[in-house]
Amino acid sequence: MLFNSIDFIAFFLPVSLLGFFLVARTLGRRAACLWLIGLSLAFSAWWRVDNFYFLLLSIAANWVFVSALRSARRNGSRLGLWIFVFAVCANVTALAFFKYADLFAGMIHSTFDSTFIFEHVLLPLGISFYTFQNIALLADVHSGEADDLSFYDYCLFIAFFPKLIAGPIVHYSDLVPQFAKEETYRFNAVSFAAGITLLIVGLFKKVVIADGLLLPWTQPFFNEVHAGAPLGLIDAWAGGILFSLQLYFDFSAYSEMAVGIGLMFGVSMSFNFVSPFKAASAVEFWQRWHKTLTDFLTDYVFTPLTVFIGRRRMVQGKSLVRKDRASVGAFFWMIVVPIMVTMILAGMWHGAGLQFVGYGVLLGLYLVINRGFRILRARFGLRELPAWSGPASVLMTFLSVVTALTVLRSPDIMTALSLFQSQLGLNGFGKIIVLRDWTTVTTAAALLAWCWFAPNVQEWIGLTKEPAASRLESWGSRLAWRSNIGWSFVMGTLAVYSLSRLSDPTAFIYFNF
Amino acid sequence: MMPAAKELRYIWVILLIFFGALLANTFAVLIVDPQKVFGLFDVNRRNFEPNTRFLKAAYLLDHPEFDSFVLVSSRANAYSVVAAQEFAGGRFYNFTVGGDTPLGMLRKVEWLASHRRINRLVVSFSYDDFIYTDAEQNQYLTIEHPLISHSSWWSFWKPYLFGPYAHPLTMAQTLYGNFVKKDDWYTFDVRTGQYDFPLFRRQMADDPTAYVENRFHTPAILEKFPKEDSLKHLDTLVQLARTKGIDLVVLINPDNHRTFLSFRPDAYRSWLSNVVRIAGGVWDFSGLNSVTRSDEGYFEQRHFSEAIGNEALARIYAPNSALAQRHPDFGKPVTPENLAARLDALNRDWIDQGGRIMQLARKTNGE
């Protein structure tokens, strides 16, 4: 079921919220948890019942792993490490099977010219996200941080429907303790008001901006790309920028709706996007874009790998990276290798195909260049940069990201390379498909201005921990959200307008990953 | 004021606006009912096309007297049930619907055969009826009656309550067409299953040249090709007709030359060969003949009027009638035996006439 469907907004969500608070009040917390678990499983089955079966299988298998790990820990057995390795491998293998089965089947088919008919393997909805959450949980259980986890808590942690399909990827310690609190089961008007606002803003961003405005412009661009037509310089950039905006408005909308729905239940989750296009470097971009994936990859891939390499280098008496100082060897082994491994994995997580590896490589290169530049700046004493370098860095980071996201959206690596050539101007100016009229240009400019200069939704609502007030003050405090009558009318109208555009809901782009 | 009171008021106002608007719109949909799928009020009587698939099936449920049917897409609306009854006998009903596919046709025949005796079926196709899947054609306008699609009533009604046909603009269009617009451009008679375009008919009679210039255009060469599944659905229908002892006539529509020449010759010949092989024989009114070369009797390059449709019926069922004698080159029975000759003749049409007629068409189209 899509968040941007009438089924969800007018029926599923109101029923699940009403039921949750009523059940909690009349039958108690455990019953309310069961209600949420049941609804979440129904939510997964709504689209295809296979999603439900696979989610159940994943829950059952991982609960066995969790129980076995805990048992091994209690007995002080060294078997725990092997169980942990096996459990992680099982999760990764299942994810890899669903992501890569089609690709490998196609390769076998073409290499051996086989006559077997390979059935298309459908990716279970949300598997990329709940597999990562399972791995994170297994790591926590292995290190003894989740000893008090009950089966109900575990089911809710994995299946909680607002974040089931496309995140945010939450940590056990972020979510489960909230369900242990008494106040979560009592209706909280403050949290609900913020949640419903986020839901409506997200719905508007998805339905009106991503699908209504941007999709009709990016579609002809990618149709040309699919047809193999070499694009001109202007179109390659215009299409890339419009797609980057579409992806941002689409995915951030989903994430905001997910966080908003969570808040309506009294549960807070991390925001996935923090004005990513305001980033002035590749490192900063990753702290702002799909943040929960970055956090996961940092915690469970990058940091352990860097620590592992660092320890080995220390044992061998070799130099390490210290702040912004590094020898060539240390830079390669402790920065280039962990970054490239992490980013290639991040790319491959998005799907099967060399274009996804290319996406990871490109992002990894940006990060390596960024870190290298910092070290060079430190070495040559370039502490102070001219005033124009700030906006220039934001622009350069944005254009680099546009290139990478265009690669991500390309149907294959050859098309990605062709698009890259076009963006370098090697295919000339060509005919203009995307920027056909001034409406497209002005709308794209307005959306870019929104992304660059306006506060993000969490700042606007006041859900951020950082002191964002200064930005809001300069923006005009009257425009900051308050739970007053004026804003309720604005939000109600936005909701009704979005509803009128709901006629043909389209899936969120990130459901494909 | 309690600490959360203003938040509560904020929430209530949003919920009231949202659910109030949703409820008001739902009531309006039930009253205006642009698609006529709820049947509570009879507001839409003209100028806004209802869901004729649903209306025809619902009407047939209460009228078991019909034993003969004309089927498939909107083009077959031109085969008048009155003419069919006159030439072939029986009680005909025109069960054609806009955008229907061979799968839709099969489902309808299976449904009809499940509850009544069918004597005659006239199944009329065009090449491009085979290139779209049911899913591609499954617009809200064309959702089948739940008894035919075997879906739930809720999944049938939901798009009409909350989809594009529940949009206030759609309701405004319906009200404008029914109460403000003076000319009837569209009317539908559920008793025959046929719709009509009175305005176009008048325009055609008043100034045929201007009508053609305004309404006709040259379609681009069609780069989509028939689906294997569609041929399988035709095969299933032919088997069903044989099992049930139904007199089945498969007819290839007399598409206007502009449409015919937009088809890829190789793909068209292959498709026709398959249809003839499956059906065992067809009445082929396609190609370039004295009817299809002219624009007379066509609403535009895809749809023809009863003048042409009835002449085709006469050629099949009343070959000695005066109507059947009007254009001797109009329509040929094609069997596996004379298929090769027919394919050669069609090929000549493309080679000899294609370029000239396309030039004429472009001229007409002001290109």
H or E, element range at B332: strand B332-334
Q: Write down the pLDDT at residue A97.
A: 84
A7-50 residue pLDDT tens:
888 889 999 999 999 999 999 888 999 999 999 989 888 877 88
pLDDT band at A464 (very low <50, low <70, confident <90, very high): low
**B136 part of contact set with chain A, CB < 8 Å:** no
Q: Is the pLDDT score of B283 beyond 90?
A: yes
Could you identify the residue written with the tokens 């060539």? Answer: A328
What percentage of residues in chain B have a pLDDT greater than 70? 92
- Residue of A193, A485, A496 lying closest to B18 (CB–CB): A496
Task: Report the alpha-carbon distance of residue B260 to residue B349 in Å, rounded.
Answer: 10
Cα nearest neighbour of B15 on chain A: A492
- Cβ burial of A449 (10 Å; 0-12, 13-18, 19+) is exposed
Q: Write down the pLDDT at residue A511.
A: 47
A45-69 residue pLDDT tens:
887 788 888 888 999 999 999 888 8
Q: Is the pLDDT score of A503 beyond 70?
A: no
Q: Write down the pLDDT at residue B1.
A: 43
- Residue of A10, A492, A500 lying closest to B13 (CB–CB): A492
pLDDT band at A474 (very low <50, low <70, confident <90, very high): low
Per the structure block, which two tokens stand in for A10? 């007018």
- Residue of B13, B21, B166 lying closest to A496 (CB–CB): B21
Q: Is the pLDDT score of A320 beyond 70?
A: yes
Q: What is the mean pLDDT of residues B38-64?
A: 91
**Interchain CB distance below 8 Å, B4 and A188:** yes
Quote the Cα angle for A30-A36-A37, to 5°.
90
Q: What is the mean pLDDT of residues A244-270?
A: 92
Query: How many Å lie between the alpha carbon of B219 and the closest alpha carbon of chain A?
Result: 21
Interface size between A and B, measured as CB pairs under 8 A: 66
Q: Which of A5, A6, A493 to probe the B interface (max B CBs under 10 A)?
A: A6
Could you identify the residue written with the tokens 């009544």? Answer: B116
Average of per-residue pLDDT values in chain A = 83
**Interchain CB distance below 8 Å, A193 and B168:** no
Q: Is the pLDDT score of A513 beyond 50?
A: no
**Interchain CB distance below 8 Å, B7 and A200:** no
**Interchain CB distance below 8 Å, A500 and B6:** no
| Residues contacting A236, CB < 8 A, separation 6+ | A406, A419, A422, A423, A427
Per the structure block, which two tokens stand in for A187? 């209706």
- Cβ burial of A78 (10 Å; 0-12, 13-18, 19+) is exposed
Assess contact for B5 and A191: CB atoms under 8 A: no
**Interchain CB distance below 8 Å, A484 and B4:** no
Q: Write down the pLDDT at residue A105.
A: 74
Q: What is the mean pLDDT of residues B337-361?
A: 76
- Residue of B4, B14, B158 lying closest to A495 (CB–CB): B14
Assess contact for B156 and B140: CB atoms under 8 A: no
Q: Is the pLDDT score of A260 beyond 60?
A: yes
**Interchain CB distance below 8 Å, A488 and B164:** no
Q: What is the ipTM of this complex?
A: 0.81
For the whole prediction, is pTM greater than 0.90?
no
Q: Which residues of B touch A496 (CB under 8 A)?
A: 17-18, 21-22
Give the pairing of strands B247-252 and B282-284: parallel
Q: Which residues of B touch A8 (CB under 8 A)?
A: none
- Residue of B10, B164, B168 lying closest to A484 (CB–CB): B10
A175-219 residue pLDDT tens:
888 888 888 888 989 899 999 999 999 999 999 998 888 888 887
Q: Which of A190-199, A372-381, B169-178, B333-342 has the lowest mean pLDDT?
A: A372-381
Q: Which residues of B touch A192 (CB under 8 A)?
A: 7, 11
Query: How many Å lie between the alpha carbon of B332 and the closest alpha carbon of chain A?
Result: 40
Q: Which of A264-268, A390-394, B115-119 has the lowest mean pLDDT?
A: A390-394
Give the pairing of strands B120-125 and B68-71: parallel
Q: Which of A462-466, B198-202, B320-324 has the lowest mean pLDDT?
A: A462-466
B161-188 residue pLDDT tens:
887 678 888 888 889 989 998 888 889 9
Residues of A involved in catalysis: 350
**Interchain CB distance below 8 Å, A496 and B17:** yes
Could you identify the residue written with the tokens 């066509």? Answer: B298
pLDDT band at B141 (very low <50, low <70, confident <90, very high): low
**Interchain CB distance below 8 Å, A485 and B11:** no
Q: What is the mean pLDDT of residues A254-264?
A: 93
Q: Is the pLDDT score of A469 beyond 80?
A: no
Task: Report the alpha-carbon distance of residue B211 to residue B361 in Å, rounded.
Answer: 14
**B181 part of contact set with chain A, CB < 8 Å:** no
Q: Which of A66-80, A499-513, B75-89, B249-263 has the lowest mean pLDDT?
A: A499-513
Q: Provide the 8-state DSSP code for B298.
A: B
Q: Write down the pLDDT at residue A15.
A: 94
B63-108 residue pLDDT tens:
999 999 999 888 999 999 999 999 999 899 999 988 888 988 999 9
- Residue of A10, A189, A504 lying closest to B11 (CB–CB): A189
**Interchain CB distance below 8 Å, A496 and B4:** no
**Interchain CB distance below 8 Å, B18 and A489:** no
Average of per-residue pLDDT values in chain B = 87
**B24 part of contact set with chain A, CB < 8 Å:** no
Q: Write down the pLDDT at residue A391.
A: 85
A408-436 residue pLDDT tens:
877 777 777 888 888 887 877 766 666 66
Q: What is the mean pLDDT of residues B41-59?
A: 91
Could you identify the residue written with the tokens 């472009």? Answer: B362
Q: Is the pLDDT score of A111 beyond 80?
A: no
Q: Write down the pLDDT at residue B189.
A: 93
Which of A4-18, A72-86, B132-146 ranks highest by mean pLDDT? A4-18
Residues 155 through 174 of chain B touching chain A, CB cutoff 8 Å? 158, 162-164, 166-168
